[in-house]
Structure 1
């Protein structure tokens, strides 16, 4: 049986947890809005740069400068896995890592797999089972041009040199209809090219179209990976916000139950003391 002092201490502890979880929920909600805005801006930029990319290929039929038509299927596959650096975000990491395991064992079971882990949780889990090609946790906390460009330049160069046959990415999508998304980074297909071949435009490009294409190839890869990381971070903050909201509600419920027990014991003790006083008279 609990005594009053012990229950009072537990009430104080639970109240502190409720305050902490509520603060974490508020922080996640602010970050969620911030990354939602970033995704919106990223989509606009991505759409425009892809329009220029298609226009260059259509305008002069520059397929000879397109390096992603063929690849050696016998070469290893690089799988980019995006997780979080910290826990307390519900099923966010568990579901993704379970799906990654299933993907490797069922689809890539006969292939040599390398993991590019973006996020500490994924690296700690996957390094026990698969070879880690590269690991980066900074992009989750502070996604920036320098870190992302270093990674993209590395995998782009190794793909062109034939080190990888395929590069895919798996992440938590910020999409209510699809929790986990798997996208192909390289080789990628150019959509709507065949349907738009007759829609040629008389543009003059400076510098040459070949030079622009050489820049656009890695830039499109970079903007795609950047968007997927933003979606993952947004999904993480949404999951953390929901998890902290549930934790706060559960804490309030436990706190109320403890207060009920505390008040009940307090009344019992007061009644007992009164009866002792009355009995002694």
Structure 2
């Protein structure tokens, strides 16, 4: 009887886990759709801002070359992870690639790290100086708070505290195809062929340079905000798949446990019947 009680307790535990993973999958699915809608709305605005920015750069391409090289060896690495686990290899693979990037390509550089999400900080906080760590922003994306952080980054870049700013995060083509994105945020790279193309010239007020000075940090904010949304989409889809896999495994284990439960129960009943017959 003790074996039967133990088995039924395990069946109940597995059933609870299956219910929990099913609920988490539904929550992730809802969050995924919301984030995809945000990204879709942002992309239209972002693409138009980038078009205006490129038009402004015509005959003003030196704007991007003005850099203070005070600290030639200092790089800021922005790492986007999640606060929570239960999302497969979402964090582990990203952190392995980040570590590989630092050890092989940025080995001779002074690295400062900006973390969005707790999981990245847990691995790197003892190894490298942390520029900023914000775990709340990755869960509840607040554009105003993000703007303040990016304004501070851009200010430090302009005065030469950083020679380069690189961002690394999880991205995805769809729910099943995921990859790691490594983007150079600053200095901005523009295709040289763009400046050779003849474009219609527009009149800008007050002037191209003044508009560029205002628009450039705004474009950076949109770029980083866009990457955070892409990372969140990848996180939600990874968690959906992890929970689906956990649910399938749970149902499989439950089926096996019920099989053993019924087998032992049948054996016990047969044994009791034989004892009764023998007693007669």
Structure 1 residue 67: Cα displacement: 4.5
Shift of 1:40: 1.7
Cα deviation 1:22-43 (Å, max 9, x = unaligned):
1101111111111112222222
> 1:31: which partner in 2?
31
Please, which of 72, 75, 96 is the counterpart of residue 77 of structure 1?
A: 75
Q: Give how far 1:71 is off.
A: 4.9
Aligned equivalent of 2:259: 260
Deviation at 1:206, TM superposition (A): 4.0
Equivalence for 1:111:
109
Determine whether 1:44 maps to 2:44: yes
Matched residues, number: 276
Deviations 1:78-136 (A, max 9, x none): 00000000000000000000000000000010111000011100011111211111101
Higher alpha-carbon deviation: 77-86 or 210-219: 210-219
Which residue in the other structure is 2:279 paired with?
A: 280
Q: What is the match of residue 10 of structure 1?
A: 10
1:134 aligns to what? 132
TM-score, normalized by length of structure 1?
Answer: 0.93
Cα offset for 1:175?
2.8
Query: 1:218 & 1:137 partners in 2: Cα distance?
Result: 23
Quote the offset at 1:17 in angstroms: 0.1
Q: Distance in 2 between matches of 1:187 and 1:9?
A: 60
Name stretches of at least 5 consecutive residues in structure 2 with no aligned partner: none
Aligned match of 1:185 = 185
- Provide the C-alpha distance between the structure 2 equivalents of 1:40 and 1:273, rounded to a whole number of angstroms: 67
2:151 match: 153
**1:246-268 Cα shifts (integer Å, max 9, x gaps):** 00000000000000000001111
Aligned residue for 1:125, secondary structure, equals helix
Distance 1:208 1:70, change over 3 A: closer
Query: Residues 67 and 82 (structure 1 numbering): CA distance in 2 closer, same or farther, change over 3 Å?
Result: same
- 1:149, 1:107 → 2: CA distance? 29
C-alpha separation between the residues in 2 aligned to 1:124 and 1:28? Answer: 24
Distance, in Å, in 2 between the alignment partners of 1:194 and 1:202 is: 15
Deviation of the 1:217 alpha carbon: 0.7
Instruction: Give how far 1:199 is off.
Output: 1.1
Q: Which residue of 2 aligns with 1:209?
A: 208
Residue 178 of structure 1 deviates from its aligned partner by 5.8
Q: Which moved more, 1:134-143 or 1:91-100?
A: 134-143
CA distance in 2, matches of 1:185, 1:68: 14
> CA RMSD, aligned part only?
1.7
Q: What SS is found at the alignment partner of 1:171?
A: strand
1:86 aligns to 2:84 (yes or no) = yes
Which structure 2 residues correspond to residues 214-229 of structure 1 after superposition, within 5 A? Answer: 214-229=213-228
Change (3 A) 1:249 1:150: same
Q: Which runs of 5+ in 1 are unaligned?
A: none
